[in-house]
Structure 1
């Protein structure tokens, strides 16, 4: 927290990369690494989506931390015996400590763990998705999309940067603001950006070009949580997502695209925010709503043209052990 009450995100991550050439000492290898996520976390949700879109399920295993954690870290409280079945640990903290004893920075998801050593390789969430898309190509499924095409990177980077600052992190700056002035500033910036995105998406199906890109993945993970937690819990309440015609239709379009909605567990999302953030919600009461049935209604975005995967194809269904509960 800054002196003026503004929430400041700790972005000091382990930036070691897993690459095709192994330049950082960690080469891409099938079966060697485990991607640890939490269904509740938007930053981890990005990695889960890209892993699905690239078809890496049989190459990069998935550990799923439960929605609750304490001051020590995310835990595997939903797994049998309260331990990750591959890493054999109760808390993600243990993998960070194996990499760096007494690790003092944020213990965050997503994190990729080197299974043989049990050490975290990286928790640099922004780089993880880029590398899954462009360093793991030898293991991509046939028809995997290019989410970060060379000719569009400058536009994607610029747009993704503003989305991170004003929307992805902006909702947290509203929710964790320590003063009215800090909250008002974050709230204004959030809604100015959402208004611009509403206008942009009123005439185009995707944010950049005619196909899904990294920019869409990065915006979707905040939009899908908006009405469930950010609107009320984080006081981002000028409108609900369902009251923004273009953004609501855009979010439904992505939700219904294989690889997106099949990574979303609304109950875990709500459990995390409303229980863990006891300073904001001291009773720990988890709201019953909102009704999620609308996510499966027709969106009409096909009329704007574009193809979600370009010349590629959608991913198949997720493995049975990774499936989320269906919407009611």
Structure 2
């Protein structure tokens, strides 16, 4: 996979070249003061995501934890793309009901006529103009956590607290390099040496994170932060796709007791597991990434019932939402199937 703009690319960008995640092409920011020309404003923007994509899932989780559903609408793309772009074929007539487009690529074209680069999620599109604002998957969630505060729900958590930002950034840097990106470097490696380096680095980082999570419930401080969101979106996909499909098979997540309990704890926290669609995840990875799985068979397993098992992580203390409260139950139009049910 060699997309030109990071995030989760379109089908045509999965190939046989060595994996390298490029920087986002459109890096405008939506801020409280509108310094890039895009001020925070309720109902002005639409988040386009795929439930298959770990990078887009970060934004979906953040939006839900912060209670931005009424201010920032959500479009969910079909997990199966064609060679053109992410498609809105889950919607009636294959048309996004708000943006009135069939393909996410149309918003890219409105932003930059003649654009020929990759089309990735997550993406934020301005509703009135239909133009892409940003596909900067690293910055989108940080801005949701810091710039959209005026539109938060009462009791919203602080996902990027000032007092811990240096430590959060340090932890996220290692997680990004060896875990978030590491599984892809292993999965799309073109020779044994590349694969072994990525896979070894991945499990080394997981082993380094384990003692931290043995003594504290969350990665940084005693509340959920951006660091937990970023690690969760890779770990929740681990046994389902990365262990087999990407050959990250030294151990399963379910064979790493501390990390398995940590991920189940988050999964069972409102805002995390209720955004995860394992069917979308499996179908995307196994059917779209034909360079790795040319036959396109989607495996039946793994058994998902374990996600609801007790985790006992609360015994470590900590408060998931700090001084805040859990989000309201997920909206009916955004519900996903529970584990074990298609």
Flag structure 2 segments of 5+ consecutive residues without an equivalent: 3-16
Residues 19 and 136 of structure 1 are in contact (CA less than 8 Å); yes or no, is this contact kept in structure 2?
yes
SS in 2 for 1:48: helix
Counterparts in 2 of 1:121-270, with a 5 A limit?
Answer: 121-270=133-282
Flag structure 1 segments of 5+ consecutive residues without an equivalent: none
Is residue 24 of structure 2 the alignment partner of residue 12 of structure 1? Answer: yes
User: Which of the numbers 76, 87, 93 marks the counterpart of 1:64?
Assistant: 76
2:12 maps to which residue? none
What RMSD in Å do the two structures reach over aligned CA positions? 1.1
Q: Name the TM-score, length of structure 1 as normaliser.
A: 0.97
Deviation at residue 83 of structure 1 after TM alignment = 1.2
Residues 77 and 90 of structure 1 are in contact (CA less than 8 Å); yes or no, is this contact kept in structure 2?
yes
Moved more, 243-252 or 5-14: 5-14
Could you tell me how far apart the structure 2 residues matched to 1:173 and 1:70 are? 23
2:319 maps to which residue? 307
Q: List, as ranges, runs of 4+ consecutive aligned residues in structure 1 with deviation greater than 6 Å.
A: none
User: Which of the numbers 76, 89, 97 marks the counterpart of 2:109?
Assistant: 97
Residues 49 and 121 of structure 2 are in contact (CA less than 8 Å); yes or no, is this contact kept in structure 1?
yes
Q: Deviations over 1:17-42 (max 9, x none)?
A: 11111111111111111000001000
Residues 20 and 28 of structure 1 are in contact (CA less than 8 Å); yes or no, is this contact kept in structure 2?
yes
SS in 2 for 1:77: coil
SS in 2 for 1:63: strand
SS in 2 for 1:39: coil
Residues 24 and 137 of structure 2 are in contact (CA less than 8 Å); yes or no, is this contact kept in structure 1?
no
Could you tell me how far apart the structure 1 residues matched to 2:160 and 2:321 are? 12
Could you tell me how far apart the structure 1 residues matched to 2:61 and 2:115 are? 28
Could you tell me how far apart the structure 2 residues matched to 1:179 and 1:142 are? 51
Could you tell me how far apart the structure 1 residues matched to 2:212 and 2:114 are? 46
The count of corresponding residues between Structure 1 and Structure 2 is 326
Q: Deviations over 1:133-156 (max 9, x none)?
A: 111111100110101011100000
Deviation at residue 72 of structure 1 after TM alignment = 1.6
User: Which of the numbers 300, 308, 323 marks the counterpart of 1:296?
Assistant: 308
User: Which of the numbers 278, 287, 293 marks the counterpart of 2:290?
Assistant: 278
